[in-house]
């Protein structure tokens, strides 16, 4: 099949390469000439494991362009442009999706299918559809659930495929043909109406965010009572009704999706007159943001209050490991706030330094976590990159000023660090104050 993908960011570039991997002829279109030049050269314009290899392997079936006209002749057009927060900072700005549809109109021919993949407020697809119907083009919504860092396997082996279609149309059959190899491997697919398909995505993100904030709220209770949130999560997770995944207490969620998506969902519910039903998402957001305050105050606590001139190594700047994405990154925000409070911050990250430098030029960066921690008073582990877990705390301690580590992702082997002489502080691992307040045996 001949397929176009409009918008070649974290979602669209991987989707374009994934569709070529399935055997289709694909053209990726983006307004950003740098992204397009990089993709056309077979080089991923952002850090996504395996993407460059996929681009190179499928070179013969994959082209990239800044001109929407190059999408003519395709029969299926995926829309994967951004839906950032609008001017109010809450509701989703769908103007990029609208612009992509407008730009597509002249290249469409009757019988084509337009497929939205961007995350949009419920009701958006039905509104857009009225612009495509007059030219004989159907619109389906096919929300994307990929996780950055695992985007390729999530695209080619998703948990499920969701189609939001108009009753009586042909979209489900066309999408079945697009995804035939994936469906053949047994991946479930659900054919829904368009509003339900839009809701599947926003509700899934709201649920995941709630689960994360739930365990982070438990971390506060654990800190106040001397309990251990990791042991708590392990025990809770064995309950088949709850499950262990997304129960890792820490610095909380960030990135280009979860934070903006729960705020947009909340705003959309207000517009629909059911705001009260989603009011709990305000608490989810608040608990999440308070993790950043908690880590900044932990640094102040372990350094005795005033952190001016103190050397702080921040390990990790991306919002999650295996990504270079620093959009709403809790790690980068903590680094910036420590710097603003007068600390000498040295940030490190295996992939995100370039993006972090662009957003936070005031910070000092070092790609090597060991030299970043040279003479440091404290190390803050802010993104749980596997490489940090592998470092030897005993050898590292020979380079640092003091042996204090704040493991804000609860990802290090606590015993290993403590037995190497480090003062270890996690989130929800029982604060020293709470422990002191407990009767000793
Ligand atoms: P992104 O900012 O990385 O990419 C969006 C791209 O669209 C940019 O490269 C931009 O230049 C391009 N663009 C904007 N307007 C355009 C136009 N008119 N024509 C062509 N290109 C245009 O964003 P992203 O992370 O890829 O997210 C895209 C959408 O996918 C959002 O709705 C997001 O919520 C959703 N989503 C993202 C992920 C993820 O992990 N990043 C996962 C699932 C869903």
Please tell me if the CB atom of residue 119 comes closer than 6 angstroms to any atom of ligand 1: yes
Per-residue pLDDT of 11-40, as tens digits, reads: 999 999 999 999 999 999 999 999 999 999
Q: How many angstroms does the Cα of residue 6 sit away from the middle of ligand 1?
A: 9
> Collapsing DSSP states into helix, strand and coil, what is residue 195?
helix
Q: Looking at ligand 1, which residue's alpha carbon is closest to its atom 14? A: 81
Q: Looking at ligand 1, which residue's alpha carbon is closest to its atom 1? A: 9
Q: Evaluate if residue 226 carries a pLDDT over 60.
A: yes
Please tell me if the CB atom of residue 323 comes closer than 6 angstroms to any atom of ligand 1: no
**Catalytic residue flag (residue 257):** yes
Please tell me if the CB atom of residue 328 comes closer than 6 angstroms to any atom of ligand 1: no
Q: Tell me what the mean pLDDT of segment 339-353 comes to.
A: 98
Please tell me if the CB atom of residue 80 comes closer than 6 angstroms to any atom of ligand 1: yes
Q: What percent of the chain has pLDDT over 90?
A: 97
| Contacts with 301 (C-beta within 8 Å, 6 or more apart), sequence order | none
Average pLDDT, the chain: 96
**Predicted confidence band of residue 430 (pLDDT cuts 50, 70, 90):** confident
Q: Evaluate if residue 438 carries a pLDDT over 70.
A: no
Q: How many angstroms does the Cα of residue 28 sit away from the middle of ligand 1?
A: 12
Q: Tell me what the mean pLDDT of segment 289-313 comes to.
A: 97
Which two structure tokens, joined as six digits, stand for 420? 């190497």
Q: Tell me what the mean pLDDT of segment 153-178 comes to.
A: 97
**Predicted confidence band of residue 437 (pLDDT cuts 50, 70, 90):** very low
332-371 burial, b at 16+ Cβ within 10 Å, e below that, comes to bbbbbbbbebebbbbbbbbbbbebbbeebeebebbeebbe
Q: Which atom of ligand 1 is nearest to the CA of 257?
A: 34
Q: How many angstroms does the Cα of residue 397 sit away from the middle of ligand 1?
A: 42
Q: Which atom of ligand 1 is nearest to the CA of 143?
A: 44
Distances (CA, A) of 51 to 16, 38, 73, 245: 11, 12, 26, 26
Q: Which of 72, 100, 77 is nearest to 16 (CA)?
A: 77
Q: What is the pLDDT of residue 441?
A: 44
Residue 388 contacts residue 411 (beta carbons within 8 Å): yes
Pocket test for ligand 1, best of 69, 82, 141, 261 (most atoms within 8 A of CB): 82
Q: Tell me what the mean pLDDT of segment 246-250 comes to.
A: 97
Pocket test for ligand 1, best of 4, 6, 12 (most atoms within 8 A of CB): 12
Residue 298's CB: how many other CB atoms inside 10 A? 20
Please tell me if the CB atom of residue 48 comes closer than 6 angstroms to any atom of ligand 1: no
Query: How do 423-426 and 76-79 pair as beta strands?
Result: unpaired
Compute the radius of gyration of the chain from its Cα atoms. 24
Q: What is the pLDDT of residue 433?
A: 43
Q: What is the pLDDT of residue 435?
A: 41
Per-residue pLDDT of 94-120, as tens digits, reads: 999 999 999 999 999 999 999 999 999
Q: Tell me what the mean pLDDT of segment 283-311 comes to.
A: 97
CA atoms of 343 and 155, how far apart (whole Å): 42
Q: Evaluate if residue 82 carries a pLDDT over 80.
A: yes
Distances (CA, A) of 347 to 62, 257, 397: 37, 24, 18
CA atoms of 415 and 425, how far apart (whole Å): 12
**Predicted confidence band of residue 432 (pLDDT cuts 50, 70, 90):** very low
Please tell me if the CB atom of residue 15 comes closer than 6 angstroms to any atom of ligand 1: no
What is the C-alpha end-to-end distance of the chain, expressed in Å? 71
Strands (DSSP E) contained in 57-97 are 62-65, 76-79
Q: What is the pLDDT of residue 201?
A: 98
Q: How many angstroms does the Cα of residue 240 sit away from the middle of ligand 1?
A: 35
């Amino acid at each position: 099949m001949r397929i176009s993908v409009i918008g070649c960011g974290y979602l669209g570039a991987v989707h374009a390469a994934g569709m070529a991997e399935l055997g289709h002829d694909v053209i990726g279109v983006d307004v950003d000439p740098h992204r397009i030049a990089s993709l056309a050269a077979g080089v991923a314009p952002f850090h996504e494991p395996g993407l460059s290899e996929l681009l190179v392997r499928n070179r013969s079936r994959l082209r990239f362009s800044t001109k929407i006209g190059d999408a003519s002749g395709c029969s299926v057009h995926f829309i994967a442009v951004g839906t950032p927060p609008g001017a109010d900072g809450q509701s989703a700005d769908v103007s990029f999706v609208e612009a992509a549809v407008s730009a597509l109109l002249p290249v469409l021919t009757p019988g084509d299918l337009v497929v939205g993949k961007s995350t949009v407020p419920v009701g958006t697809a039905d509104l857009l559809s009225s612009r495509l119907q007059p030219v004989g083009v159907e619109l389906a919504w096919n929300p994307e659930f990929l996780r950055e860092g695992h985007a390729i396997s999530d695209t080619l082996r998703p948990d499920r495929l969701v189609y939001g279609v108009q009753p009586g149309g042909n979209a489900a059959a066309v999408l079945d043909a697009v995804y035939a190899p994936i469906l053949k491997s047994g991946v479930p697919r659900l054919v829904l109406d368009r509003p339900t398909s839009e809701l599947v995505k926003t509700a899934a993100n709201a649920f995941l965010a709630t689960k994360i904030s739930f365990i982070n709220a438990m971390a506060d209770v654990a800190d106040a009572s001397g309990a251990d949130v990791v042991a708590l999560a392990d025990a809770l997770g064995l309950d088949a009704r709850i499950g262990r995944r997304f129960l890792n207490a820490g610095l909380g969620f960030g990135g280009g999706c979860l934070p903006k998506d729960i705020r947009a969902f909340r705003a959309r519910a207000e517009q629909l007159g059911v705001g009260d039903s989603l009011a709990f998402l305000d608490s989810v957001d608040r608990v999440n943001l308070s993790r950043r305050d908690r880590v900044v105050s932990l640094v102040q606590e372990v350094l005795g209050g005033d952190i001016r001139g103190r050397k702080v190594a921040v390990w990790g700047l991306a919002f999650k490991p295996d990504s270079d994405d620093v959009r709403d990154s809790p790690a980068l925000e903590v680094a910036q706030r420590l710097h603003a409070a007068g600390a000498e911050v040295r940030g490190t990250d295996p992939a995100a330094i370039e993006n972090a430098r662009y957003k936070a030029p005031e910070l000092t960066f070092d790609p090597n976590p060991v030299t970043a921690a040279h003479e440091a008073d404290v190390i803050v582990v802010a993104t749980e990159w596997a490489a940090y877990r592998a470092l030897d705390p005993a050898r590292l301690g020979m380079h640092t000023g003091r042996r204090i580590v704040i493991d804000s992702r609860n990802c290090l082997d606590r015993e290993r660090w403590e037995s190497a002489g480090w003062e270890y502080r996690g989130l929800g691992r029982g604060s020293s104050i709470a422990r002191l307040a407990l009767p000793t045996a």
